[in-house]
Amino acid sequence: MTDSDQATGNTGVSTDLYTRVQQFYARQMQALDGGRFEDYAATFTKDGTFQHSPGAEPAVGRDGIVAELIEFHKRFDGDPVQRRHWFNHVVLEPLDDGSLRSTVYALVVTTRPGGKPLIAPSCVVNDVLEVEGGAVLTRSRQIDHDQLV
């Protein structure tokens, strides 16, 4: 155990764990925005759940998440849009079972050829993360949208 592994006052989880989660999110969201849906689904636990909008039924399991993403992206068929999910202010809180609650701001940036980026919606990502060895996985993800209250 090193200093980096120790709890750090009012500032949350260990340095190593916080940075692992930052890297995990960077890779996870570049996979999603790159259309690599199987890579995105592989960042969830086998029984992971993904609810991208408050009213939606959660997708369950990696195959279910891939199917949900394919279905969701049909609205962009023939529309050469580039979407990018930006994250900010990752707050991690250890839960009793060893998992982590993660609460993160998100903005979706959408650009079409020759156009300006549109930035909407503003969301909060509510994740439960599992960490085993050095690997981080999302057990559940539920997204709140600021415009839906």
- Binding residues for a copy of itself (CB under 8 A): 1-13, 15-16, 18-27, 29-30, 43, 80, 82, 84, 86-92, 103, 105, 107, 109, 111-117, 119-122, 132-136, 146-149
**CA distances (Å), 131 to each of 21, 101, 102, in order?**
9, 11, 12
Alpha-carbon torsion 1, 139, 29, 93, what sign? negative
Q: Give the closest residue to 99 by CA, choosing from 1, 29, 27, 21.
A: 21
Nearer to a copy of itself, 8 or 71 (CB): 8
Nearer to a copy of itself, 59 or 106 (CB): 106
**Min CB(148)–a copy of itself separation in Å:** 8
Q: Give the closest residue to 130 by CA, choosing from 20, 11, 7, 10.
A: 20
**Min CB(5)–a copy of itself separation in Å:** 6
Q: Are 21 and 129 in contact (CB under 8 A)?
A: yes
Nearer to a copy of itself, 71 or 112 (CB): 112
**Min CB(80)–a copy of itself separation in Å:** 6
**Min CB(98)–a copy of itself separation in Å:** 16
